[in-house]
Structure 1
Amino acid sequence: MNVMATVGEPPEMKKFSGLQRAGALMLALGQEHGAPIWQQMSNEEVKELSSTIAQLGRVPVVVVEHLLVQFSSEVSSMASLHGSFETTERLLEGILPTARVKEIMEDIRGPSGRTMWDKLSNVSETVLASYLKNEYPQTVAVILHKLKPDHAARVLAELPKDMASDVVMRMLRMDTVQKDVIQEVEQTLKSEFMTNLSRAQRRDPHEAMAEVFNALDRQTEEAMLAALEAQAPESAVRIRALMFTFEDLGKLLPTAIQTIVRNCNKRELALALKGTPEETKQLFMSGMTQRAAKLMRDDMAAMGPVRARDCEDAQASLVMLAKTLADQGEIMLVDPRSDESVIY
């Protein structure tokens, strides 16, 4: 679709490219009038135009009127149209199948690019390396083989040294990669990595608020959640579901728990474990040597009675440490919204 400049157009039109004009036109047409046009487009065309609409922002009314002269009586009362991810998704939902809308929105919300490898080139080496650390070296070799050399080099530098060496050796021995292998890797990247990345980019305000509540002491947290439940019960339920607590640390992989134990203050860990079930104590102590675990139990016994508030503060510190390690790509946290693990 190409909406070209015409004689006598308002000065504001100069700010809009042909693709942006097409996006504004489709946004103005809406579902009913735009449906026959959308249905004639290919997936790539829908993605390209949808991406443009999602980033369109404010469209001045004079531009809308110029694009839709035949409907000027209807649009002249509008102050503007506003293109966003949400309006784009609502527009497509009444036109295309749900699965297709989901695929298109995930693509345009993720890093831009027509192909998966274009998209990966727009992902920072730190984020990509954090994901690849948990993949098989052969899979990493295939992925880096498809990236641009300079980007692949930066990703390699972010990987653990032993893993990076292994990946380099596999890349050296790699012949032409079979097409079905590439397709399988692309599908995995799309379903696991890009989906989680795009979800992180369209962050729900409830997620941000869950982090705020995580940083509160237990008494204040419960008081504020109780107040929120009285005013907005649905929001309170969502925030509770998104909060990452000390109990959630028990869902982490053993290697993640070992990393937390290795990086934490041992006195703080002993205080955090004081009064927890034996199962929880054993979970953390399994990441220590037998001698260190015995010393930890001795420390807890020597503490005697401790204030519940002190234990809660120590537990909160461990949760914050876990989040910091996850941000650095050292561990994976369990996403409270699903049973899958995701990179934060």
Structure 2
Amino acid sequence: MAKEQLTGKEKAAILLITLGPQKSADIFKHLNEEEIEELTLQIANMRMVSPEEKQKIIENFYQLCLAQEYISEGGISYAKDVLERALGDDKAEDIISRLTSSLQVRPFEFARKADAGQLLNYIQNEHPQTIALILSYLSSSQAAQILASLPEEKQAEVARRVAIMDRTSPEVVKEIEQVLESKFSNIVSQDFTDAGGVQTVVDILNSVDRGTEKHIMEEIDIKDAELSDEIRKRMFVFEDIVGLDNRSIQRVIREVDNSQWAIALKGASEEVKESIFTNMSKRLVEMIKEDIEFMGPVRLKDIEEAQQTIVNVIRKLEEEGEIITPRGGDEIIV
């Protein structure tokens, strides 16, 4: 079976066979059902492949991964330069061509490598729609820092525009990119690209402090109650702990310092306190209740920060598959 005769699916199937069942299973987790079915069928029908052919495909895959990493680090030009030095002009050109033909490099790649404070200086005075578009292409942590630093009267409007954003033409994206082009790295070309949406603003709000989150949600609730409800359905806030099953709460308790629980529960509802205390040992409950009683007045900001710390732990455990959090009113099946 000559290399030139192999299709992309055949190469993918050979790679999975070579990697073995465990690693292949891990890769399948990132594919949709249709892709899994096609690859499974391809693997089942795969003919004999020589060790030499397998090695070539692994090397080819490694080079593509390396090229993609270089693109992420410094853009296509940087990747091409590094690969040319390592593999020669022709080989580098071939890898970059094959990679970029199947890989959509997201706009504002240069901005995702920039400092959030630096970006803020250049976009804070722009129209809310422009800011919303830029934030939609940044990482959640970057966007959260910028959103929290905007004037309060702009925060909710920008968040709302991120949530209702749909598709933006490449001409508009390019025009906005050029505003920052003189200060940042080269910009790659793009086709029509999905950006924004409810999930994007949820990711951003999940990363900001609770004070900013509350303000933005209150403002959006006034302007667009339906949108606010949709955002809340996808978010997890401290009060949602009551919706976790006991095993998940116990898992969270083990990950959070006792001092954090005391501060966080200082301003919590009785329902939340009951959910937590029910899953703690009697001695630990008594200790935390004593801490709450004797710590005196606590600033709202400190309570919110402690609660946000716990929410971040919950979100991290959910991402790692350790626990399941309720979404949109769904009940957890234990």
Greater C-alpha radius of gyration: 1
Q: TM over 0.5, yes or no? A: no
With the length of structure 2 as denominator, give the TM-score of the two structures: 0.40
Give me the TM-score of the superposition, normalised by structure 1: 0.39
